[in-house]
Amino acid sequence: MKVLVKRQHTFQEFEVPREPSQTVLDVVTYIQRELDPTLAYRYACRVGMCGSCAMEVNGVPRWTCRTHVDRVAEKETLTIGPLRNLPVVRDLVTDMREFFDKWARAKGAFAGRRSRRDDFETVSPESKRRRQADAGIECIGCAVCYAACDTVTWNPAYLGPAALNRAWTLVSDVREDRNAERLLAVSGEDGCHACHTHVSCTELCPKGISPTAGIAGLKRALFKA
């Protein structure tokens, strides 16, 4: 199989043997271990939990450890590059700082009302707010949605789907104490109103999360506030 990998200013071509159940991460690992040890890429868990292995595969952002070559190869060819919308450190490695800085800007840290001396707060799994929060809570911070979002490309200050999804899970959490502050943080031209509902984030999120739905929820919550 022919594999084109983005290096500094160009694509470098490699020939990689096909294997059964081969993932795109297996392909990149083969290249780094067998063909060119200078290739830089990032991964940790290999089982879809850490969110660190995302890359662009044939122009589409994907988690590479759970993406099978059979599903994405076009004419026995793969083109692999770093995620869009993020600065490149080297080869396939992006600098994730601005992505996570935006989680902080969207007040993505939980701040509950109770102290460690209080009893646990009981939240029914069947309640509407709990189900809303649960729908977005499994985010692994892979930035696939962020790379898929044209609004981030057009306006690099836009908070983006992952940070806004995180804000929505907290706005939906009945134990949260700082939602007035959080809603203010996600308003304005770089916040949820900048989303044009293109839905690319939702189509590509490997965890089946819909940041688009969360962003719509934030818009409704802001309207009510």
**Residue 85 contacts ligand SF4 per CB under 6 A:** no
For 138-192, give the DSSP string.
Answer: T-----HHHHH-HHHHH-TTS--HHHHHHHHHHHT-TTBS-HHHHHHHT-STTTG
- 78-86, 134-142, 183-191, 217-225 -> range binding ligand SF4 (CB under 6 A): 134-142
Nearest to 91 by CA among 2, 8, 214, 193: 8
Kindly state the smallest distance separating residue 56's Cβ from ligand FES, in Å: 14
CB of 168 to ligand SF4, least distance (A): 11
Interaction between residue 69 and ligand SF4 (CB under 6 A): no
Residue 219 vs residues 18, 188, 223: alpha-carbon distances, Å: 47, 11, 6
Residue placing its CB nearer to ligand SF4 in the complex, 39 or 148: 148
CA proximity to 144, closest of 205, 217, 207: 205
Smallest separation (angstroms) from ligand SF4 to the CB of 117: 34
Residues that bind ligand SF4 in the complex, under the rule CB under 6 A: 139-145, 148-149, 151, 161-162, 165, 195-201, 205, 207, 209, 211-212, 215
